[in-house]
Structure 1
Amino acid sequence: MKLRLLPVLVSVVISASVLFGGWFAYQSYAMENPLESIVAKTPGVDLVNTRITNNEAIVELKLQPGTSLRETYAKIQNESTAFLGKKELKLKVVNDTTPEMEQWWSSALFDVAQAMETRHYAQIPTTLQSRVKNASDMKVATEMDDKFVFITLTDGDKSKYVMLPRTPEKMGVWPNE
Protein backbone atom coordinates (compact mmCIF):
# COMPACT_ATOMS: atom_id res chain seq x y z
CA MET A 1 0.00 0.00 0.00
CA LYS A 2 1.46 3.31 -1.06
CA LEU A 3 0.64 6.49 0.88
CA ARG A 4 0.30 9.70 -1.02
CA LEU A 5 2.35 12.49 0.46
CA LEU A 6 0.03 15.39 -0.39
CA PRO A 7 -3.14 14.10 1.36
CA VAL A 8 -1.14 13.11 4.47
CA LEU A 9 0.55 16.52 4.60
CA VAL A 10 -2.73 18.38 4.11
CA SER A 11 -4.45 16.40 6.89
CA VAL A 12 -1.54 17.06 9.27
CA VAL A 13 -1.66 20.79 8.53
CA ILE A 14 -5.45 20.94 8.99
CA SER A 15 -5.31 18.92 12.23
CA ALA A 16 -2.56 21.14 13.65
CA SER A 17 -4.48 24.28 12.67
CA VAL A 18 -7.66 23.08 14.37
CA LEU A 19 -5.80 21.95 17.49
CA PHE A 20 -3.73 25.10 17.97
CA GLY A 21 -6.57 27.35 16.81
CA GLY A 22 -8.87 25.83 19.42
CA TRP A 23 -6.24 26.20 22.12
CA PHE A 24 -5.63 29.84 21.15
CA ALA A 25 -9.37 30.60 21.11
CA TYR A 26 -9.83 29.01 24.53
CA GLN A 27 -6.84 30.88 25.97
CA SER A 28 -8.04 34.17 24.53
CA TYR A 29 -11.81 34.05 25.04
CA ALA A 30 -12.14 31.92 28.15
CA MET A 31 -9.19 33.25 30.16
CA GLU A 32 -7.48 36.40 28.90
CA ASN A 33 -10.59 38.36 27.95
CA PRO A 34 -12.35 37.84 31.31
CA LEU A 35 -9.12 38.70 33.16
CA GLU A 36 -8.64 41.87 31.11
CA SER A 37 -12.27 42.79 31.76
CA ILE A 38 -11.83 42.41 35.54
CA VAL A 39 -8.64 44.47 35.52
CA ALA A 40 -10.23 47.17 33.32
CA LYS A 41 -13.17 47.50 35.75
CA THR A 42 -10.88 47.85 38.78
CA PRO A 43 -10.82 51.49 39.98
CA GLY A 44 -7.48 53.27 39.66
CA VAL A 45 -5.98 50.72 37.28
CA ASP A 46 -4.75 51.21 33.73
CA LEU A 47 -4.21 47.84 32.07
CA VAL A 48 -0.94 47.43 30.27
CA ASN A 49 -0.68 43.73 29.43
CA THR A 50 -1.86 40.24 30.41
CA ARG A 51 -0.21 36.90 29.74
CA ILE A 52 -1.44 33.48 30.84
CA THR A 53 0.87 30.46 30.92
CA ASN A 54 0.30 26.90 32.12
CA ASN A 55 0.68 27.74 35.82
CA GLU A 56 0.45 31.52 36.19
CA ALA A 57 -1.43 34.59 35.07
CA ILE A 58 0.78 37.65 34.75
CA VAL A 59 -0.92 41.04 34.75
CA GLU A 60 1.25 44.04 34.00
CA LEU A 61 -0.57 47.19 35.04
CA LYS A 62 -0.16 50.83 35.89
CA LEU A 63 -1.84 52.26 38.97
CA GLN A 64 -3.05 55.80 39.36
CA PRO A 65 -1.52 57.67 42.35
CA GLY A 66 -3.39 56.95 45.58
CA THR A 67 -4.60 53.51 44.50
CA SER A 68 -4.16 50.73 47.06
CA LEU A 69 -2.09 47.91 45.61
CA ARG A 70 -3.36 45.50 48.29
CA GLU A 71 -7.01 46.22 47.46
CA THR A 72 -6.32 45.99 43.73
CA TYR A 73 -4.55 42.63 44.12
CA ALA A 74 -7.34 41.26 46.35
CA LYS A 75 -10.10 42.37 43.94
CA ILE A 76 -8.41 40.87 40.88
CA GLN A 77 -7.54 37.67 42.79
CA ASN A 78 -11.07 37.18 44.15
CA GLU A 79 -12.87 37.86 40.88
CA SER A 80 -10.55 35.77 38.70
CA THR A 81 -10.35 32.55 40.75
CA ALA A 82 -13.39 31.07 38.95
CA PHE A 83 -11.68 30.87 35.57
CA LEU A 84 -7.99 30.89 36.55
CA GLY A 85 -8.34 27.88 38.82
CA LYS A 86 -5.02 27.01 40.45
CA LYS A 87 -2.97 29.40 38.31
CA GLU A 88 -0.96 31.86 40.40
CA LEU A 89 -1.82 35.53 39.87
CA LYS A 90 1.26 37.73 39.52
CA LEU A 91 0.93 41.49 39.32
CA LYS A 92 3.75 43.51 37.83
CA VAL A 93 3.26 47.19 38.43
CA VAL A 94 4.72 49.64 35.94
CA ASN A 95 6.09 52.37 38.18
CA ASP A 96 6.26 56.04 37.27
CA THR A 97 9.05 57.13 39.62
CA THR A 98 11.70 59.79 39.95
CA PRO A 99 15.45 59.25 40.37
CA GLU A 100 15.16 60.64 43.92
CA MET A 101 12.47 58.09 44.77
CA GLU A 102 14.60 55.24 43.40
CA GLN A 103 17.60 56.52 45.39
CA TRP A 104 15.49 56.69 48.56
CA TRP A 105 14.15 53.15 48.01
CA SER A 106 17.68 51.83 47.43
CA SER A 107 18.82 53.25 50.75
CA ALA A 108 15.80 51.83 52.61
CA LEU A 109 15.95 48.42 50.95
CA PHE A 110 18.53 46.94 53.35
CA ASP A 111 16.35 47.61 56.41
CA VAL A 112 13.27 46.28 54.61
CA ALA A 113 15.12 43.15 53.46
CA GLN A 114 16.33 42.51 57.00
CA ALA A 115 12.80 42.83 58.41
CA MET A 116 11.47 40.51 55.67
CA GLU A 117 14.19 37.92 56.25
CA THR A 118 13.64 37.85 60.03
CA ARG A 119 9.85 38.03 59.56
CA HIS A 120 9.57 41.17 61.72
CA TYR A 121 7.02 42.75 59.41
CA ALA A 122 5.96 45.37 61.99
CA GLN A 123 9.38 47.00 61.65
CA ILE A 124 8.79 47.89 58.01
CA PRO A 125 6.24 50.72 58.47
CA THR A 126 8.18 52.14 61.42
CA THR A 127 11.48 52.07 59.54
CA LEU A 128 10.05 53.59 56.37
CA GLN A 129 8.16 56.31 58.24
CA SER A 130 11.29 57.32 60.14
CA ARG A 131 13.29 57.46 56.90
CA VAL A 132 10.62 59.42 55.01
CA LYS A 133 10.84 62.30 57.48
CA ASN A 134 14.18 63.18 55.85
CA ALA A 135 12.67 63.16 52.34
CA SER A 136 10.97 66.25 50.98
CA ASP A 137 7.32 65.57 50.07
CA MET A 138 7.46 61.79 49.88
CA LYS A 139 4.76 59.70 51.54
CA VAL A 140 4.93 56.01 52.40
CA ALA A 141 2.05 53.58 52.87
CA THR A 142 2.47 49.97 53.92
CA GLU A 143 -0.14 47.21 53.88
CA MET A 144 -0.02 43.47 54.31
CA ASP A 145 -2.11 40.40 53.57
CA ASP A 146 -1.42 36.70 54.03
CA LYS A 147 0.91 36.53 50.99
CA PHE A 148 2.57 39.93 50.50
CA VAL A 149 3.79 43.13 52.10
CA PHE A 150 2.71 46.05 49.91
CA ILE A 151 4.73 49.28 49.95
CA THR A 152 3.63 52.45 48.18
CA LEU A 153 5.90 55.46 47.80
CA THR A 154 4.29 58.65 46.54
CA ASP A 155 5.98 61.92 45.65
CA GLY A 156 3.52 64.34 44.08
CA ASP A 157 2.08 62.64 41.00
CA LYS A 158 4.81 59.97 40.85
CA SER A 159 4.47 56.62 42.62
CA LYS A 160 6.40 53.42 43.21
CA TYR A 161 4.57 50.22 44.16
CA VAL A 162 6.39 47.20 45.58
CA MET A 163 5.00 43.74 46.41
CA LEU A 164 7.28 41.71 48.67
CA PRO A 165 6.39 38.02 49.16
CA ARG A 166 5.98 37.03 52.81
CA THR A 167 7.21 33.52 52.15
CA PRO A 168 10.65 34.38 50.84
CA GLU A 169 12.06 32.67 47.84
CA LYS A 170 15.79 32.45 47.45
CA MET A 171 17.06 35.87 48.40
CA GLY A 172 18.45 38.03 45.68
CA VAL A 173 16.10 40.46 44.07
CA TRP A 174 12.39 40.18 44.84
CA PRO A 175 10.48 38.88 41.84
CA ASN A 176 7.69 41.49 41.96
CA GLU A 177 9.81 44.60 42.17
Structure 2
Amino acid sequence: MQLRMVPIALSLLATLTLLFGGWFLYQKMEVEEPIKHEIGQMESAKLARLEVAKDRIQVDLTVTNPELFPREYQDLRVKLADLLQNKAVDITIHNNAKALEDIWTNGVFSFTEAVDLHEYSRIPQIVSQWKEAYRLDEASTQMDEENIYVYLKRGTDDFYTIVPRYPAKEVTARG
Protein backbone atom coordinates (compact mmCIF):
# COMPACT_ATOMS: atom_id res chain seq x y z
CA MET A 1 0.00 0.00 0.00
CA GLN A 2 1.53 3.24 -1.11
CA LEU A 3 0.69 6.44 0.82
CA ARG A 4 0.01 9.56 -1.17
CA MET A 5 1.95 12.43 0.39
CA VAL A 6 0.02 15.37 -1.07
CA PRO A 7 -3.40 14.42 0.41
CA ILE A 8 -1.79 13.60 3.76
CA ALA A 9 0.06 16.93 3.86
CA LEU A 10 -3.08 18.85 2.87
CA SER A 11 -5.14 17.04 5.52
CA LEU A 12 -2.53 17.83 8.16
CA LEU A 13 -2.39 21.48 7.08
CA ALA A 14 -6.19 21.79 7.15
CA THR A 15 -6.40 20.16 10.59
CA LEU A 16 -3.70 22.42 12.07
CA THR A 17 -5.31 25.49 10.50
CA LEU A 18 -8.69 24.63 12.03
CA LEU A 19 -7.16 23.79 15.40
CA PHE A 20 -5.03 26.89 15.80
CA GLY A 21 -7.53 29.14 14.03
CA GLY A 22 -10.22 27.99 16.45
CA TRP A 23 -7.95 28.59 19.42
CA PHE A 24 -7.02 32.06 18.13
CA LEU A 25 -10.67 32.91 17.51
CA TYR A 26 -11.59 31.69 21.01
CA GLN A 27 -8.85 33.89 22.54
CA LYS A 28 -10.08 36.94 20.64
CA MET A 29 -13.84 36.49 21.02
CA GLU A 30 -14.22 34.82 24.41
CA VAL A 31 -11.28 36.24 26.36
CA GLU A 32 -9.90 39.49 24.93
CA GLU A 33 -13.13 41.10 23.71
CA PRO A 34 -15.03 40.72 27.03
CA ILE A 35 -12.05 42.17 28.91
CA LYS A 36 -11.80 45.10 26.50
CA HIS A 37 -15.56 45.62 26.78
CA GLU A 38 -15.46 45.73 30.61
CA ILE A 39 -12.52 48.14 30.63
CA GLY A 40 -14.17 50.24 27.91
CA GLN A 41 -17.15 50.72 30.25
CA MET A 42 -14.90 52.32 32.89
CA GLU A 43 -14.98 56.10 33.22
CA SER A 44 -11.84 56.23 35.34
CA ALA A 45 -9.30 54.24 33.30
CA LYS A 46 -8.41 53.09 29.83
CA LEU A 47 -6.61 50.02 28.59
CA ALA A 48 -2.89 50.52 28.02
CA ARG A 49 -1.96 46.90 27.22
CA LEU A 50 -3.55 43.47 27.34
CA GLU A 51 -1.53 40.27 27.27
CA VAL A 52 -3.26 36.90 27.32
CA ALA A 53 -1.20 33.84 28.21
CA LYS A 54 -2.28 30.25 28.78
CA ASP A 55 -2.70 30.51 32.55
CA ARG A 56 -2.74 34.25 33.28
CA ILE A 57 -3.85 37.57 31.89
CA GLN A 58 -1.90 40.81 32.25
CA VAL A 59 -3.96 44.01 32.10
CA ASP A 60 -2.20 47.39 32.14
CA LEU A 61 -4.46 50.36 32.84
CA THR A 62 -3.92 54.10 32.62
CA VAL A 63 -5.95 55.92 35.27
CA THR A 64 -7.80 58.93 33.83
CA ASN A 65 -10.02 59.83 36.80
CA PRO A 66 -8.40 59.03 40.15
CA GLU A 67 -11.49 59.95 42.16
CA LEU A 68 -13.69 57.29 40.53
CA PHE A 69 -11.01 54.65 40.06
CA PRO A 70 -11.10 52.80 43.42
CA ARG A 71 -14.78 51.87 43.07
CA GLU A 72 -14.46 50.88 39.42
CA TYR A 73 -11.26 48.95 40.13
CA GLN A 74 -13.03 46.73 42.66
CA ASP A 75 -15.92 46.19 40.23
CA LEU A 76 -13.48 45.31 37.44
CA ARG A 77 -11.67 42.77 39.61
CA VAL A 78 -14.95 41.04 40.49
CA LYS A 79 -16.17 41.01 36.87
CA LEU A 80 -12.86 39.67 35.54
CA ALA A 81 -12.73 36.97 38.22
CA ASP A 82 -16.24 35.84 37.20
CA LEU A 83 -15.41 36.02 33.51
CA LEU A 84 -12.04 34.24 33.69
CA GLN A 85 -12.59 31.69 36.41
CA ASN A 86 -9.55 29.53 35.73
CA LYS A 87 -6.96 32.20 34.92
CA ALA A 88 -5.01 34.53 37.18
CA VAL A 89 -5.52 38.20 36.35
CA ASP A 90 -2.79 40.73 37.08
CA ILE A 91 -3.87 44.36 36.88
CA THR A 92 -1.08 46.92 36.70
CA ILE A 93 -1.38 50.70 36.74
CA HIS A 94 0.54 52.42 33.98
CA ASN A 95 0.62 55.99 35.44
CA ASN A 96 4.22 56.20 36.61
CA ALA A 97 6.08 59.33 35.59
CA LYS A 98 9.72 58.98 36.64
CA ALA A 99 9.94 62.26 38.59
CA LEU A 100 6.83 61.43 40.62
CA GLU A 101 7.93 57.83 41.08
CA ASP A 102 11.08 59.22 42.72
CA ILE A 103 8.90 61.19 45.16
CA TRP A 104 7.02 57.97 45.97
CA THR A 105 10.29 56.08 46.44
CA ASN A 106 11.67 58.75 48.78
CA GLY A 107 8.53 58.80 50.91
CA VAL A 108 7.50 55.15 50.84
CA PHE A 109 9.16 54.37 54.19
CA SER A 110 6.90 56.69 56.22
CA PHE A 111 3.90 55.59 54.15
CA THR A 112 4.63 51.89 54.71
CA GLU A 113 5.19 52.50 58.39
CA ALA A 114 1.74 54.07 58.68
CA VAL A 115 0.20 51.12 56.80
CA ASP A 116 2.05 48.48 58.84
CA LEU A 117 1.11 50.15 62.12
CA HIS A 118 -2.49 50.54 60.91
CA GLU A 119 -2.29 54.30 61.46
CA TYR A 120 -4.28 55.07 58.36
CA SER A 121 -5.21 58.56 59.54
CA ARG A 122 -1.52 59.53 59.09
CA ILE A 123 -1.55 58.71 55.38
CA PRO A 124 -3.40 61.86 54.16
CA GLN A 125 -1.00 63.96 56.29
CA ILE A 126 2.03 62.24 54.75
CA VAL A 127 0.75 62.75 51.21
CA SER A 128 -0.14 66.38 52.01
CA GLN A 129 3.44 66.93 53.18
CA TRP A 130 4.67 65.52 49.87
CA LYS A 131 2.37 67.92 48.02
CA GLU A 132 3.88 70.93 49.80
CA ALA A 133 7.50 69.75 49.80
CA TYR A 134 7.58 68.76 46.12
CA ARG A 135 5.13 71.42 44.83
CA LEU A 136 2.63 68.95 43.43
CA ASP A 137 -0.56 70.09 41.71
CA GLU A 138 -2.50 67.19 43.24
CA ALA A 139 -1.81 64.61 45.89
CA SER A 140 -4.65 62.43 47.13
CA THR A 141 -5.35 59.13 48.82
CA GLN A 142 -8.38 56.90 49.07
CA MET A 143 -8.91 53.69 50.94
CA ASP A 144 -11.29 50.77 50.81
CA GLU A 145 -11.43 47.40 52.57
CA GLU A 146 -8.57 45.95 50.53
CA ASN A 147 -6.33 48.75 49.21
CA ILE A 148 -4.98 52.23 49.61
CA TYR A 149 -4.91 54.32 46.42
CA VAL A 150 -2.33 57.09 46.04
CA TYR A 151 -2.36 59.70 43.28
CA LEU A 152 0.31 62.33 42.63
CA LYS A 153 0.24 64.91 39.82
CA ARG A 154 2.53 67.72 38.71
CA GLY A 155 1.88 69.39 35.36
CA THR A 156 1.17 66.68 32.82
CA ASP A 157 3.02 63.99 34.81
CA ASP A 158 1.10 61.73 37.12
CA PHE A 159 1.73 58.72 39.34
CA TYR A 160 -0.86 56.28 40.62
CA THR A 161 -0.27 53.29 42.82
CA ILE A 162 -2.33 50.76 44.71
CA VAL A 163 -1.02 49.58 48.06
CA PRO A 164 -2.68 46.46 49.46
CA ARG A 165 -3.98 46.40 53.01
CA TYR A 166 -4.07 43.24 55.04
CA PRO A 167 -7.34 43.52 56.97
CA ALA A 168 -7.16 39.92 58.20
CA LYS A 169 -4.07 40.88 60.21
CA GLU A 170 -5.52 44.10 61.59
CA VAL A 171 -6.55 44.44 65.21
CA THR A 172 -9.84 46.19 65.79
CA ALA A 173 -11.31 47.44 69.03
CA ARG A 174 -14.84 46.33 69.80
CA GLY A 175 -17.10 47.46 72.52
User: Same fold per TM (> 0.5)?
Assistant: yes
* Aligned counterpart, 1:9: 9
Superposed CA deviations along residues 113-140 of structure 1, whole A, max 9, x for unmatched, are 4556x46462544433344332213433
Tell me, which stretches of 5 or more residues in structure 2 are unaligned?
167-175
* Aligned counterpart, 1:61: 61
* Aligned counterpart, 2:171: none
Structure (1 or 2) with the larger CA radius of gyration: 2
The count of aligned residue pairs is 165
* Aligned counterpart, 1:143: 142
Counterpart-to-counterpart distance in 2, 1:60 and 1:12:
38
Counterpart-to-counterpart distance in 2, 1:76 and 1:147:
14
Counterpart-to-counterpart distance in 1, 2:15 and 2:144:
47
Percent sequence identity over matched residues? 22
Q: What's the RMSD between the two structures over aligned residues?
A: 2.8
Alignment CA distance shift 1:144-1:89 (3 Å): farther
Aligned AA (1:79): K
* Aligned counterpart, 2:107: 108
Alignment CA distance shift 1:14-1:146 (3 Å): farther
Report 1 or 2 for greater relative contact order, CA contacts < 8 Å, sequence distance ≥ 6.
1
Q: What is the TM-score normalised by the length of structure 1?
A: 0.74
* Aligned counterpart, 1:171: none
Superposed CA deviations along residues 44-92 of structure 1, whole A, max 9, x for unmatched, are 3232222222332222222225444322321222333332114233222
Deviation at 1:27, TM superposition (A): 0.9
